[in-house]
Amino acid sequence: MAYSKDDIEKILRERLEATNVTVEDTSGGCGSSFDVVLLVSSAFEGKKPLEKHRLVNNALAEEMKTIHALSIKKLLTPEQYSSQCA
């Protein structure tokens, strides 16, 4: 099945207990390519970039079978996020 950006946001919210998620469909609506623009989760605390990316990839393991490209921009801890917004 094809996923919408809302599906992906919902999945990330649930599986990573993300407090803030912004996903964009970069495939023009066919659901094959997404940008994770921003994801805020306490799961990222103390993690290196590779480990953070792995958390996201693993959370979407099932969906990745049909998603062609996933680009991950900003992965922040709640603390990093609030200091950025302050």
Which residues of this protein are in contact with another protein, per CB under 8 A?
49-50, 53-54, 57, 61, 64, 69-73
β-pairing, 20-25 vs 69-76, is unpaired
- For the CB of residue 68, give the shortest distance to another protein in the complex, in Å: 8
Nearer to another protein, 62 or 85 (CB): 62
- For the CB of residue 36, give the shortest distance to another protein in the complex, in Å: 9
- For the CB of residue 82, give the shortest distance to another protein in the complex, in Å: 21
Maximum alpha-carbon separation in the chain: 40
Nearer to another protein, 29 or 49 (CB): 49
User: Residue 58, CB half-sphere, CA atoms under 13 Å: how many?
Assistant: 9
CA distance 29 to 32: 8
